[in-house]
Amino acid sequence: MYRPYAVHEDFQSTVWGLSDADGYLAERYNYTDPYGVSDSEDGSATALGDYASEAFHRKRLHGGFVEEVTELYDFRNRWLQPEMGSWLSRDKWGILESKNLYQALVAAPLHRIDVFGLKSIGSPPGGSSDWDPDGFKRVNCPGGCPCSSELDQMKSSCRSELESGSLDGRFGSTYEVYLARATCEMLDAQNIVCGTCENSDFCGLADNTPKTDFHDSNSRGWGATTIFICTDDDCNFDCSASCEKVLGHEFMHNMCMNMNPGGDKEGPKKKKERCGHGKITHDEINGCADAFRKFMKTGNSTSATNCLENTFQRKKKWYQW
């Protein structure tokens, strides 16, 4: 006999339990490890066993399915071993996310998910959202910051490309695939903060406090992850440029901060000089934004690579560390 159940999930789609049609708890799933090691109990708190389910419900961590016999998570392209916190097979994309090709979720399962077993997404721990640039005063916007929906659309488009695997056919080389994935990953980590800006001519500001070296061997935690949108005290965005233009421009500043050589040893001040308007002109940043927009749409990496090498000073083989 078919019985309907309500599935209780958190923001990462991790399933914590089931309730029946009368609203009573039917099963509870307890996690003893952030990588999904789990045991089950019924509505009366009677233990059912590891990964067990009387309702034959197999979804657990991040919505992944647990194979009943092996107790491995099926994430479509790879199997996750929860006891070890690692994949059973190598990363088919190489070392974009970590030098350890078997490392799952860049060692941050509470912050990132990987529903296809190909690339983790989410906000890295230790982001820079608590820092504000000089002359910027945050404004609380109950309805959300201006340009937020445009940023979400940009992220969604990039994310769908990655998850569908369509990058394989569009980009002709390993370098181009890596560059596209790094671009999407950094874009996915961006967030918006809105407030008043000291210079009324500004439409937005970039993040100048990278906290993680691009070559961090443990995780791919981007440092410059905030785009500051300039508004008035009532959250009105009065700018002649479109949200897409402003977001693309400030994202290029952040991308430069994250990808610039020297790592944390160079220091925020020198990186700010190199990636801000002190060393890079307004037109150069706009040119980079146009180059990367064209690259993601057409797969032609010539202009984007020129931006990396000459504007950001990042050599073409940056991904081979």
Each residue of 217-229: pLDDT tens digit?
333 445 677 899 9
Q: Which of 143-147, 152-156, 191-195, 211-215 has the lowest mean pLDDT?
A: 211-215
From the number of C-beta atoms within 10 Å of its C-beta (0-12, 13-18, 19+), residue 273 rates as middle
Residue 183 makes CB contacts below 8 A (sequence gap 6+) with: 158, 255, 292, 295, 296
Q: Is the pLDDT of residue 125 over 70?
A: no
Q: Which of 73-82, 187-196, 266-275, 309-318 has the lowest mean pLDDT?
A: 266-275
Q: Is the pLDDT of residue 143 over 90?
A: no
Q: Which position has the higher pLDDT, 12 or 61?
A: 61
Mean pLDDT of 133-149: 87
Mean pLDDT of 190-204: 88
The one-letter code for the residue type at 246 is V
Q: 73 near 114, Cβ under 8 Å?
A: no
Give dist(CA 117, CA 88) in Å, integer.
11
Residue 92 makes CB contacts below 8 A (sequence gap 6+) with: 77, 118
Q: Which position has the higher pLDDT, 42 or 173?
A: 42
Query: What confidence tier does 264 reach under pLDDT thresholds 50, 70, 90?
Result: very low
CA distances from 51 to 6, 60, 224 (A): 18, 8, 39
Mean pLDDT of 6-25: 92
Query: What confidence tier does 270 reach under pLDDT thresholds 50, 70, 90?
Result: low
pLDDT, position 165: 65
Residue 265 makes CB contacts below 8 A (sequence gap 6+) with: none
Mean pLDDT of 182-206: 86
Percent of the chain, pLDDT > 70? 77
Query: What confidence tier does 42 reach under pLDDT thresholds 50, 70, 90?
Result: very high
pLDDT, position 120: 78
> In terms of pTM, does the model score above 0.85?
no
Q: Which of 41-50, 79-88, 135-144 has the lowest mean pLDDT?
A: 135-144
Query: What confidence tier does 320 reach under pLDDT thresholds 50, 70, 90?
Result: very low
Q: Which position has the higher pLDDT, 64 or 308?
A: 64
The percent of the chain in helix, strand and coil, each rounded to the nearest 5, is 30, 20, 50
Q: Give pLDDT tens digits for 205-261.
A: 887 654 444 333 333 445 677 899 999 999 999 898 899 999 999 998 888 877 764
Query: What confidence tier does 129 reach under pLDDT thresholds 50, 70, 90?
Result: very low
Mean pLDDT of 99-112: 84
Give the DSSP letter of residue 303: H
